[in-house]
Chain A
Amino acid sequence: EAGVTQFPSHSVIEKGQTVTLRCDPISGHDNLYWYRRVMGKEIKFLLHFVKESKQDESGMPNNRFLAERTGGTYSTLKVQPAELEDSGVYFCASSQLAGYGNEQFFGPGTRLTVL
């Protein structure tokens, strides 16, 4: 069974540019999560999809971030325009169910550097 995949693995862009990150969850997993780790800080929740619907987007930093999950399969996270503080590692995770005890499986992350 293929795991969670993310693309690209690394992205270096200049301030003001746009970047789109992609996540492909494990097949059959309705729940998809985005997290971010900024250097020296804890991993922070960004948002949670159930199928194509946003269940919780309380962690999205601001309106420069747009997440989509068309068709309830893969998800994209677009940052436009990127700022220096957006640098970090963006992780995607998926789970079959979302209740207590259901394991979230993580992708390898996308390391975003904004110069």
Chain B
Amino acid sequence: QKEVEQNSGPLSVPEGAIASLNCTYSDRGSQSFFWYRQYSGKSPELIMSIYSNGDKEDGRFTAQLNKASQYVSLLIRDSQPSDSATYLCAVPRGAGNNRKLIWGLGTSLAVNP
């Protein structure tokens, strides 16, 4: 079992729709979770972080965390063509001052005009 799992997609949604991206993780002790966005040929860019169960909203983005189910999701409301990218789920692993990121494969999102 992979430590962090995502459906690779591609996920295709029409402009204006809600895009739902999912991620599961294996380590029950995980405390924080990150969503990165990566445009083709560019660097990963952090768009959301979440630490507590429930929802966290930032503009059109909502991260949802359910630690009991070991599940974290990212919702993108009013999807725009500019949201077309690969979305990567990352979970820090380590202790003290050592926090390496463990990554999912990423989900490719295509928003169609």
Contact = CB atoms under 8 A, between A and B. Distances in A.
Mutual binders A and B: yes
A43 B103 contact: yes
Interface in A86-111: 91, 97-109
Interface in B76-113: 88, 90, 92, 94, 96-106
A48 interface: yes
B42 A108 contact: yes
A102 B42 contact: no
A45 B45 CA distance: 16
B46 interface: yes
Contacts of B63: none
Interface in A37-71: 41-45, 48, 50, 55-56, 59
Contacts of A7: none
B32 interface: yes
A33 interface: yes
User: What interface size band does chain B fall in?
Assistant: 20 to 34
A109 B43 contact: yes
Contacts of B53: none
Interface string B19-42: 000000000000110101000001
A96 to B, nearest CB: 12
A45 B99 contact: no
A41 B97 CA distance: 27
A99 B45 contact: no
User: What interface size band does chain A fall in?
Assistant: 20 to 34
Nearest to B6: A42
A55 B101 contact: no
A39 B98 CA distance: 26
A45 B100 contact: yes
A43 B49 contact: no
Contacts of B103: 35, 42-44
Contacts of A91: 43-44
A56 B51 contact: no
B51 A98 contact: no
B100 A33 contact: yes
26 contacts: A33-B101, A35-B101, A35-B103, A41-B105, A42-B2, A42-B103, A42-B105, A43-B44, A43-B90, A48-B98, A50-B97, A55-B98, A91-B44, A98-B99, A99-B96, A99-B97, A100-B32, A100-B51, A100-B92, A101-B51, A103-B46, A104-B46, A106-B43, A106-B45, A108-B43, A109-B43
